[in-house]
Amino acid sequence: MKRRFAISYLLALILMPPACSDNAPQINSVQWQVVFFRNRLMDVTYQRLSVFVLANDKDGEKDLATINVINDDDELFWSIPSEKWEKASVRGVAWIGSNGLAMPDGRNLPTGMYRVLVEDQGGKTAETQFYMKKENVETANARFPSVSVKNDRILVEGDFTDPELWIFDANDVFIDRLPMPQKFADISSIRTKYKQLAAGFTYYAYAKKSGIYFGVMIGPYYYSP
């Protein structure tokens, strides 16, 4: 009887699913930038905060659940669940975060200290922070690239550096940031690389300007064949 019980207990232990180790996540690095955003449809210009983290979890990437961005002094709190993360690959390394954090009333983002928390499914967190300096250009005085389409190419013109196309699908899901070192992008190449964009896509032009601390972005633009 005792032996039968021992065998049954051993089988139960073998068949029992492994317990989650519940390791805390880790933040290896954080990248952030304030972008002056020009919305062509609404004819307004405002600031958006872009925050991306390089994070990992010993329990696996799927254990990462939420990114929180907090400014304690101004009582600001943004919570970004994993299903709404935007992903960017830089030199083969995957970053997660958001390009769209903004003040609800369109005011400029406050300067000062911001905390970034990455939370896993078990509620454990990792934290880092960054300090936002005072902007060195007024939002109303920001200058934006000129965008046009010619001969199956999207062209970005103006006295700017590091231009990019930020590409979204028809459901407004972020797809990729496409560098434009020659200030143009071939539409056919975009549609070939991303089959889900064959029927069309939305894009924004992003760039930097020498001596200006923040980036600039204008859009949306739409392409349909």
CA distance 17 to 10: 13
Which domain range does residue 44 map to? 26-132
In a 10 Å sphere around its CB, with 0-12 CB exposed, 13-18 middle and 19+ buried, how is residue 6 labelled? Answer: exposed
**Residue 18 belongs to a domain:** no
Give me the helices (H) in the chain, please. 2-15, 187-193
Instruction: Say if 137 falls within a structural domain.
Output: no
Q: Could you tell me the CATH number of the domain that includes residue 200? A: 2.60.40
Looking up tokens 């254990």 gives: 63
Is the pLDDT reported for residue 189 higher than 90? yes
Residue where a domain terminates, one of 132, 157, 186: 132
| Whether residue 110 sits in one domain with residue 81 | yes
- Same domain for 48 and 128? yes
CA distance 91 to 82: 22
**Lookup result for tokens 């200006």:** 212
- Residues 14-28 pLDDT 10s: 444 444 457 899 999
**What is the CA 160 to chain-centroid distance, rounded?**
22
Question: Model confidence over 77-117: pLDDT tens digits?
Answer: 999 999 999 888 777 788 999 988 999 888 899 999 999 99
Q: Are strands 26-39 and 215-223 parallel, antiparallel or unpaired?
A: parallel
Examine the domain organization and report whether 147 and 127 are in the same domain.
no
Among 132, 164, 179, the domain boundary falls at 132
Based on the domain organization, do 42 and 74 belong to the same domain?
yes
- Quick check: pTM over 0.85? no
Q: Each residue of 69-85: pLDDT tens digit? A: 999 999 999 999 999 99
Look at residue 17 and tell me if it is in a domain: no
Q: Is 167 part of a structural domain of the chain?
A: yes
Tokens of 175: 């797809």
Residues 119 and 165 in one domain: no
User: Most confidently modeled of 58-62, 170-174, 212-216, 220-224?
Assistant: 220-224
